[in-house]
Amino acid sequence: MSKIRWAVGIPTHARYSPLMTARLADIAAQAGVSEATVSRVLNGKPGVAAATRESVLAALDVLGYERPLRLRRRSAGLVGLITPELENPIFPALAQVIGQALTRQGYTPVLATQTPGGSTEDELTEMLVDRGVSGIIFVSGLHADTSADMQRYEQLRAQGVPFVLVNGFSPKVQAPFISPDDRAAMRLAVTHLVALGHERIGLAVGPKRFVPVLRKIEGFHSTMREQLGLTAPAVEELIQHSLYTLEGGQAAASALMERGCTAVVCASDMMALGAIRAARRLSREVPRDLSVVGYDDSPLIAFTDPPLTTIRQPVTAMGQAAVRTLLEEIGGTPAPHSEFVFMPELVVRGTTASGPGPSAGPVPRR
């Protein structure tokens, strides 16, 4: 019997020829579904039940047609890991934990990293799916961006690819999520600085559209109100958005010091190193003139000068949970499609000290 020849990744807008339509009718009859349903399955569109999807694929096999490349049986040995970049040390650290956990379970991790001007998350996902990975772990991906279209993940699920999403959450996506408790992290950092006598405490974070940023802001707001009695507008003046880079931290800290801040909580260790640089360029000493708290506890961060006080992400626990959850998905006994939240830890080192005292003046509480 002749076989259907498929191009890699048939576009969802493709129009079928009469010959292909006839074959769709055969597949639909064999599977006991409509031709429209067959078309949706072959094009990887969402909205098809898993049992129906399997019936269509089984019909292809029975009739002797080739499955589209992306719908063929998955390689049991490969698992994709997509990270936004590797310059921030927290991502290699998390990749190492995930890779080791996969290897112990007999899987081979395939690391796919986005680079400026390089492949996008969607392109990397398509590449991994085309190679037949058993599943994919996304770290700080588009699922954390509130402005992104979450339909891409439903399309991936429609293709039968299990996945787990790390560091970010969207109620629009039915999948397991693994996250640190960003609100609790801010509570730990601010409470520590208030106990040292600081009142002018700034927050340096990334763009506001990201879920972890929004959660950090929520935690910062609530703790500053509880600990210092500030109003929401007063707290908002102490928040500076920037990039998750050394340069971004430097710019944010410079702006916050201009507003009289004696302490800065940063959303990443890289930003915290930038804050220390900003203080030194303004002839201020850390921690005498400015206390700095980082976020992540990246490898080697304890050996900076001075050693960085930071919020430690539970990288090992999160990475192992991501792998365990994905393997449950692959094995057909999926974990609940909800968010698993892990508690961070305050690590006090050498970049925080007592506040400068009352001479700095009180924070306006309007």
Classify domain 182-313+347-360 at the CATH topology level. Answer: Rossmann fold (3.40.50)
pLDDT value of position 15: 38
Domains of the chain, residue spans: 18-71, 78-180+315-342, 182-313+347-360
Positive or negative torsion for Cα 84, 85, 91, 96: positive
Phi/psi for 129 (5° steps) reads -65, -40
* Bond into 344 cis (ω within 30): no
* 340: three-class secondary structure by DSSP: strand
Residue type, 65: Y
In the chain, the N- to C-terminal Cα span, in Å, equals 79
Task: Tell me yes or no: is domain 78-180+315-342 CATH 1.50.10.10.
Answer: no
**What is the chain's length?**
366
pLDDT greater than 60 at residue 17: no
Positive or negative torsion for Cα 111, 117, 120, 126: negative
| Token reading at 363 | 């924070």
Q: Given this chain, do its domains 18-71 and 78-180+315-342 carry the same CATH topology? A: no
- Strongest mean pLDDT among 15-24, 228-237, 322-331: 228-237
pLDDT value of position 44: 75
Question: In angstroms, how far is CA 89 from the centroid of its own chain?
Answer: 15
Stretch 155-180: mean pLDDT: 94
pLDDT tens for 57-103 read 778 777 777 777 666 555 568 999 999 988 888 999 999 999 999 98
pLDDT value of position 42: 84
Angstrom CA distances, 364 to 208, 232, 237, stand at: 24, 11, 10
Q: Which CATH class is domain 18-71?
A: mainly alpha
Closest by CA position to 176, among listed 162, 189, 197, 186: 162
Closest by CA position to 158, among listed 80, 254, 47, 295: 47
pLDDT tens for 30-52 read 888 998 898 888 887 777 887 78
Please give the helix or strand (H or E) that residue 24 lies within, else none: helix 18-31
User: Cβ-count burial of 10 within 10 angstroms (0-12 exposed, 13-18 middle, 19+ buried)?
Assistant: middle
What's the rounded Cα separation, in Å, for the pair 69 and 91? 31
pLDDT value of position 41: 84
* 292: three-class secondary structure by DSSP: strand
The strand pair at 135-139 and 177-180 is best described as unpaired
Report the percentage of the chain scoring pLDDT > 70. 89
